[in-house]
A and B are shown apart, each in its own frame.
Chain A
Amino acid sequence: MKKEHIQHLYWRAGFGIDPKALQSLLNKNREDIVDMLFSESKSFNPLKINTPEFDTLTYKEFNKTNKIHRAYIEKSKLKVKELNHAWIHRVSNSKETLREKMTLFWANHFVCQDRYILYIQKFNNTLRYHALGNFKDFLKDISKEPSMIDYLDLKQNKKGRPNENFARELLELFTLGVGNYSEDDIKEIAKAFTGYNYDFEGDFEFRENQHNNDFKYVFGKAGHYDGDDIIDIILEQKQCARFICTKLYRYFVNTTINKTHIEDMTNVFFPNYNIETVLRYMFTQDWFYSPEHIGNKIKSPIDLIAGISHTVPVTFKETEQILGIQGMLGQLLLYPPNVAGWKGGKSWIDSNTLMIRLKLPSVLLSNAKIETKEKGDFYDAYKKYYENRKGDSIIKASANWEVFKSNYQHVEIEELGNYLLQCPINSGVQDYLNRLSKKSKQEYCVQVMSLPEYQMC
């Protein structure tokens, strides 16, 4: 497989690839490499943080008094931040890259937020567990997650007192998309999802006495359906497979959709809804490697952070800081903007987020400094700009350059861009880079990562 194509695959299905790993793949064919990608993600390792104060907590203790309850909630909120930190660490270091990439995808599909750590951690691992599995099983499990039951008011959805929040999002955001159902469908589906609840441990509980056992009329069918039946019925529609494939295409290939390719994917995905199968199909198609797609995707903030870390491992010391960075970049994991999730693509970019993106590599790797020395240059604008700025970078992070040195050992300094970037450098900017003194590989790595081109993959 060609170098550019391997890099493309690894940027889209993961967070990039270093020259050492790349070298070992060059004489393999596409099917073999895609096989490897899946076998690396075969195992499932749940993401868990230490939660001693919650592990043995009883419902009684949790709700002893208002004050105690509030104190637990505050503690729990801190734990959710810790989980965010652990998740960033996971995407930056995991060998199960495709599983993690898909976990991020599903986290923006089944959007959910919770301040209770054990529930949101469980939810997060349900995403990870099913990430490459079967969409039908996945959806049924998601509908029974305590965090989801809370987030979309399923608990309030009772016999005789329906709450349509979940039913609406199930159709609009999780399965069919706007315009493929009626308001009556929503009403009937809400009836079927009555009685959903969970116990304090977070295990699903079906409350028979709150369940509406009437006939439900959905998409031309009628029966005493419950929630799982409804999911089966929705998934009988090819539109559901098409909706998911469109989202996958936009995430992995291009935000401008190609109907023919999506229809081909839909035919592979439907009716079994096997996620691995459709991804494998997509990664092995010639069109996936078409030049128009390569290097034309704007990285998400998490892609950006994880990508830097895959090249030069970065360890954040303070949870608040890694949260702060995500916040400034506009993608704070576990805190989605709303139930529709992040829009992605160009909407990641505004004046502020772009400047922060461009400064991020230097902030993390070189104390916020980007060298500007040119060949044979004596006058140094750089020095002047920085002379009154001491301790500029307040981010407490450590960068492991040894890993970079080892992985990029055989790459000539002039060649670095070919490994760090996915799109060609603008010609004028290339001329400028040619003039830079390039005394150190590390310095030049930061310079390349600080280009707008590095925002693309």
Chain B
Amino acid sequence: MNRRKFIKNSSLASSLFFVPSFVKAFSNLITSETSYKRLVIIQLSGGNDGLNTLIPFRDDNYYKSRPIIGLKKEDIINLDNELGLHPSLLPLKKLYDYGYLSIINNVGYPNPNRSHFRATDIWQTASDSNQYLQSGWIGRYLDNFNQKTTAAIDINQSLSLALKGEFQNGMAVKNPNLLFRTTQDPYLKNVAKHYEDSHLSEHNLGYLYKTMINTESSAKYIFETSKTTSSNIEYPKNTLSKQLKTTAQFINSGLNTRVYYASLDGFDTHVNQLNTHKRLLKAYAESIDAFVKDLKSKNTFKDTLILTFSEFGRRVKQNRGNGTDHGSANTLFIIGENLKTPGIYNKMGSLEDLDDNGDIKFEIDFRTIYATVLKKWLNVNDDVVLNESFNHLEFI
């Protein structure tokens, strides 16, 4: 008789039903006591057209620059009589009305780079425009303040640079069941079990074994913790929504993760962008909507902050293909229950006074946003993570 069979047959089985809820109640207690703040980062990959996301519909320059792809006034969701949201973003209007949304304009950095790869690296490593860092800002957060691999999870097949530290990496988990199963390979488990850690820990091979053993336990922890909760919320069908559903499951099960990373691809809209952009923003907004509902249903929204960014914005003027080319400064969304400055945080930059490339000039360095989140949300010293001292903003 194997162990599971024994438990099944045992008269103790009935009392075991109480254990999970007891354990859960206990872990909830811990959670609320330490007020576990979580950060969810969403990257809109490809360069989201910020100017067709939040639209200055009173500004004639907008329609002059975008005679074909400019959104019609009557379709735009009015926010403050100056700026309005793309019609696909209706769910965000609700968050805006509740005071759960803070919109920060003209976010960028000096000497912007307009290559996807480079610009993504700059955002993920929090480097200067001409500086090459090989560790990400979340990775350095792990390096300095948290030794656990499970403290930062990329809901993805592979780990983003953002989550790679000098010494400590976060973890990429797209499908917790699959990862768990891989680590349960009987042969690999036996190998890990028989490893004798005598004097090799500083050696490269020791590092591999350490990672292997750590992965096995992390995968087990994630799998077993996350399966204690389930969700009744219906999510739309798209890749981001799938990632956010997994994220909500992790958060709601009380996983000790502090930072989650997710992304939605396809924003590189050089050609005939209207429909593509509409579809993408819809996918984004509906996913966020389901995600927030899911968190609220388990009372975890209050401890969750969602930051949405894109590696760059797009050119103000539409191009000849009825799309837009790579730009620079962009609009960024912060979503959370206890925002200090809900609504529109700062005025959108002028569409007349553009930079040499015809892009909106940057006003707020993206690293001041990172600094603010690190300091005021994750409660750590941001200077150490960012290798420099940045101002703190007032959105949280």
Contact = CB atoms under 8 A, between A and B. Distances in A.
Please determine whether chains A and B interact with each other in the same assembly: yes
A166 to B, nearest CB: 13
Category for how many chain A residues contact B: 35 or more
B134 to A, nearest CB: 5
Contact of A298 (B164, B171, B208, B212): B208
B212 A347 contact: no
B207 A349 contact: yes
A330 B118 CA distance: 17
Contacts of A428: 194-196
B190 A432 contact: yes
B157 interface: yes
Contacts of A113: 117
Closest 3 CB pairs of A and B: A428-B196, A370-B187, A351-B215
17 contacts: A70-B271, A327-B157, A339-B118, A340-B134, A351-B215, A353-B159, A355-B183, A371-B187, A372-B190, A385-B186, A426-B195, A426-B205, A429-B195, A432-B190, A447-B187, A452-B208, A452-B209
Contacts of A338: 117-118, 121, 132
Given A296-B204, A352-B158, A453-B205, A347 B164 contact: yes
B198 interface: yes
Interface string A341-362: 0010111011111110011000
Nearest to B163: A350
Q: How large is the interface on B (under 10, 10 to 19, 20 to 34, 35 or more residues)?
A: 35 or more
Interface string A423-451: 10011110110000000000000010011
A456 interface: yes
A202 B225 CA distance: 57
Given A66-B321, A432-B190, A455-B208, A355 B215 contact: yes
B130 interface: yes
Contacts of B203: 296
B22 to A, nearest CB: 30
Interface in B149-193: 149, 157-159, 161, 164, 169, 171-172, 179, 182-188, 190-191
Contacts of A359: 182, 185, 188
Contacts, number: 127
A297 interface: yes
Question: Which secondary structure dominates chain B's binding surface?
Answer: helix
A345 to B, nearest CB: 8
A351 B194 CA distance: 19
Contact of A346 (B117, B159, B179, B207): B207
A181 interface: no
Contacts of B229: none
A431 B184 CA distance: 21
Contacts of B184: 385
B159 A426 contact: no
B134 A429 contact: no
A352 B196 contact: no
A381 B117 CA distance: 46
A327 B156 CA distance: 12
Contacts of B171: 350-352
Nearest to B114: A153
Contacts of A353: 158-159
